[in-house]
């Protein structure tokens, strides 16, 4: 860690930062007929940090990210983003600022250009100017996808290429938070490394990254926190 990072308050099991990105307060959530994924859990996620979410399979890591993005609703308690209850925000506005990358990349049968610019078709992003071809090609190159043409079909891409393309598609609208659901789980070593590098770079650029991982990956040059979910409890440590 090479910069000053907010410390964890061990009593509160939470970060001591005055300016948290996300706050979960007494959050409860259970899938119908199952044990609780979150049982009255409170945690504060520091702004600008790189949070690695760990836990056994089925512990509720993906569910936590889906709750933060409102793809699921809490049963009780409250989730706040930058001090505001996420239920008080327009869902599209929240998701514009808090991007969520699904574990399995979803790439429709469109050209690479159309895939990258798909978010600009939605009303919430219509005041933004989509990048031109030159900028898109530079971005592809940055993610080692320089061999792709903007007119190539997205369905012809490999799993690693699709995941990187989806990451780029999420980054292109400039979110402040990236929720990454095991983005490297099915990737080869090179693709995995590139995705991790891009996530770290995004964090260095000021974005908060919350990433589920089962690997030993430790980001360098950013404030790293580890969040563990087990039997309905969430712990955050440095």
Partner 1 sequence: MTQGALVISAWELSIAALFVFAVGAISLWARLGLEKGLLVGSVRCVLQLLAMGYVLRFIFGLASAWIVFLIFFIMVGFAARIVKGNVSQQKISFVLPTFLTMLMVYALITAVVTGGIVGATPFWHPQYFIPLAGMVVGNSMTALGLALDRLFSDLRARRDEVEMMLCLGATAAEASAGIFKGALKAGMMPSINALAGVGLVFIPGMMTGQILSGEDPVLAIRYQILVMFMLVASTALTVVIVLGIVRNRCFGSGDQLVV
Q: Quick one: which of 194, 203, 105 has its CA closest to 154?
A: 105
What is residue 212's three-state secondary structure? strand
Q: How far is the CB of 187 from partner 1 (least distance, A)?
A: 18
Q: Confirm or reject binding of residue 72 to partner 1 (CB under 8 A).
A: yes
- Ranges of beta strands (E only) in the chain are 8-9, 14-15, 20-30, 36-46, 50-54, 76-81, 84-85, 98-101, 177-180, 208-212, 224-230, 233-237
Distance CA 110, CA 238 (A): 42
Q: Confirm or reject binding of residue 106 to partner 1 (CB under 8 A).
A: yes
Q: Quick one: which of 21, 20, 34, 97 has its CA closest to 63?
A: 34
Q: Confirm or reject binding of residue 122 to partner 1 (CB under 8 A).
A: yes
Q: Confirm or reject binding of residue 125 to partner 1 (CB under 8 A).
A: yes
Q: Confirm or reject binding of residue 146 to partner 1 (CB under 8 A).
A: no
Distance CA 208, CA 226 (A): 13
Q: Confirm or reject binding of residue 21 to partner 1 (CB under 8 A).
A: no
- Sheet with 20-30, strands from edge to edge, namely 36-46, 20-30, 76-81, 84-85
Q: Which span (69-77, 149-157, 195-203, 214-222) binds partner 1, by CB under 8 A?
A: 69-77
Q: How far is the CB of 31 from partner 1 (least distance, A)?
A: 13
Q: Confirm or reject binding of residue 121 to partner 1 (CB under 8 A).
A: yes
Q: Confirm or reject binding of residue 24 to partner 1 (CB under 8 A).
A: no
- Helix (H) or strand (E) run with residue 90 in it: none
Distance CA 27, CA 77 (A): 4
Q: Which is nearer to partner 1, 91 or 221 (CB)?
A: 91
Q: Which is nearer to partner 1, 108 or 149 (CB)?
A: 108
Q: Which span (36-44, 49-57, 148-156, 167-175) binds partner 1, by CB under 8 A?
A: 167-175
Q: Confirm or reject binding of residue 108 to partner 1 (CB under 8 A).
A: yes
| Binding residues vs partner 1 (CB under 8 A) | 69-73, 86-87, 91-93, 95-96, 99-102, 104, 106, 108, 118-119, 121-125, 166, 169-170, 173
């Amino acid at each position: 860690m090479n910069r000053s990072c907010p410390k964890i308050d061990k009593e509160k099991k939470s970060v001591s930062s005055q300016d948290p990105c996300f706050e979960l307060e007494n959050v409860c959530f259970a899938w119908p007929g199952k044990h609780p994924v979150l049982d009255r859990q409170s945690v504060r996620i520091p702004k600008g940090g790189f949070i690695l979410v760990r836990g056994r399979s089925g512990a509720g890591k993906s569910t936590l990210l889906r709750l933060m993005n409102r793809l699921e609703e809490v049963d009780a308690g409250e989730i706040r983003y930058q001090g505001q209850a996420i239920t008080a925000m327009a869902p599209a506005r929240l998701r514009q600022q808090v991007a969520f990358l699904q574990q399995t990349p979803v790439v429709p049968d469109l050209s690479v250009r159309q895939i990258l610019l798909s978010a600009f078709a939605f009303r919430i992003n219509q005041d933004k100017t989509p990048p031109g071809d030159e900028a898109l090609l530079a971005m592809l190159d940055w993610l080692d996808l320089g061999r792709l043409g903007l007119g190539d079909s997205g369905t012809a891409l490999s799993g690693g290429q699709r995941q990187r393309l989806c990451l780029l598609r999420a980054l292109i609208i400039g979110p402040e938070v990236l929720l990454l659901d095991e983005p490297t789980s099915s990737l080869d070593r090179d693709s995995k490394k590139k995705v991790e590098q891009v996530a770290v770079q995004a964090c260095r650029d000021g974005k908060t990254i919350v990433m589920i991982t089962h690997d030993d990956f430790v980001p360098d040059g950013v404030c790293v926190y580890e969040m563990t979910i087990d039997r309905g409890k969430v712990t955050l440590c440095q």
